[in-house]
Amino acid sequence: MRTKIIAGNWKMNTLFQEGVTLANNVLENTGAVASGTSLIFGVPFTHLKSIAEISAKHANVSVAAQNCYFETKGAFTGEVSAAMLKSAGCSHVILGHSERRQYFNESEAIIYKKVLATLYEKLKVIYCCGEPLEIREKNKHKEYVSEQLQGSILKLSEKQINNIVIAYEPIWAIGTGKTATTEEAQEMHAHIRSAIKAKFGATVAADISILYGGSVKSSNAKELFAQPDVDGGLVGGASLNAVEFAAIVNSI
Ligand code: PGA
């Protein structure tokens, strides 16, 4: 059964108290989150435990971290393990975000190791993929995303892939105000689903949630989410405004 998901990616925004207020305000503005639907707050590490506690009071609401390290513990100053995230009440970890790939040099091989470490702790992964503008302009976007998938999540077992949520985020649409058209989103989502089908079969492909990310707003959410292969969104900028984000949640 495919779950519809709206995940907010707060990135490195909000001080602790601001984050708590934001989460509370979002929840005040959304009705009960229906079963089969999931609302996830992707928050900074410092906010995880408190926002997990707030989320736990609401059905189908949970918390994601925005990164983790692939080692389980030890002398890795400044890093946070998947087990630590789990102990703070986290249910998901966002991995492979284009900002991590770009600013922190995360290769597909590193992302794959992080995916394995996260799954090992029985957390779910929101795996991000997506092409830069120059690749889209050369009409090579499908090949580019296929290669990303081949380097990580297509190497998983069938049991593991069931704990993956995919987020397609074309880099040219992230934080730019420029959203992919519904046709562009649907085309890539169908492509990703067919890659999952080719490797894991029709049932896994039908059940996996594929989110769209890149300038999702309340004004375009409904149309995007109405596409047959778009199962929700990973929302950056608009997730920092409680009323706007709640309107996106309510449009799924
Ligand atoms: P945006 O970010 O909604 O601000 O474009 C999306 C993301 O980076 O996950």
How far apart are the CA of 49 and the centre of ligand 1, in A?
Answer: 23
Q: What mean pLDDT value characterizes the chain?
A: 97
pLDDT at 243 over 90: yes
The question of whether 169 is a catalytic residue gets the answer: yes
pLDDT at 178 over 90: no
Question: Which residue's CA is the nearest one to ligand 1's atom 3?
Answer: 236
Please give the average per-residue pLDDT across 7-18, as a whole number: 98
pLDDT band at 180 (very low <50, low <70, confident <90, very high): confident
Collapsed DSSP state (helix, strand, coil) of residue 244? helix
Whole-structure pTM value: 0.97
pLDDT at 39 over 90: yes
Helical spans, DSSP H, in the chain: 16-29, 48-55, 82-87, 98-103, 108-120, 133-137, 141-151, 158-161, 182-200, 202-207, 218-225, 242-250
Q: Are strands 37-42 and 61-65 parallel, antiparallel or unpaired?
A: parallel
Please, which residues bridge with residue 212 across strands?
168, 233
How far apart are the CA of 175 and the centre of ligand 1, in A?
Answer: 5
Question: What is the percent of the chain where pLDDT is above 70?
Answer: 100
pLDDT at 110 over 90: yes
pLDDT at 2 over 90: yes
Q: Quote the pLDDT of residue 179.
A: 84
Structure confidence by residue, pLDDT tens digits, 54-95: 999 999 999 999 999 999 999 999 999 999 999 999 999 999
Using alpha carbons, select from 150, 158, 145, 149 the residue that is nearest to residue 119.
Answer: 158
pLDDT at 116 over 90: yes
Q: Quote the pLDDT of residue 174.
A: 87
Q: Is 236 in the pocket of ligand 1 (CB under 6 A)?
A: yes
How far apart are the CA of 73 and the centre of ligand 1, in A?
Answer: 30
Q: Quote the pLDDT of residue 144.
A: 98
Q: Is 170 in the pocket of ligand 1 (CB under 6 A)?
A: no
Q: Is 8 in the pocket of ligand 1 (CB under 6 A)?
A: no
pLDDT band at 1 (very low <50, low <70, confident <90, very high): confident
The residue annotated as part of the active site, out of 99, 131, 169, 244, is 169
Q: Quote the pLDDT of residue 9.
A: 98
The question of whether 92 is a catalytic residue gets the answer: no
pLDDT at 218 over 90: yes
pLDDT at 176 over 90: no
The residue annotated as part of the active site, out of 97, 131, 141, 189, is 97
Question: Which residue's CA is the nearest one to ligand 1's atom 9?
Answer: 236
Instruction: Please give the domain boundaries of the chain with CATH numbers for all domains.
Output: 4-250 (3.20.20.70)
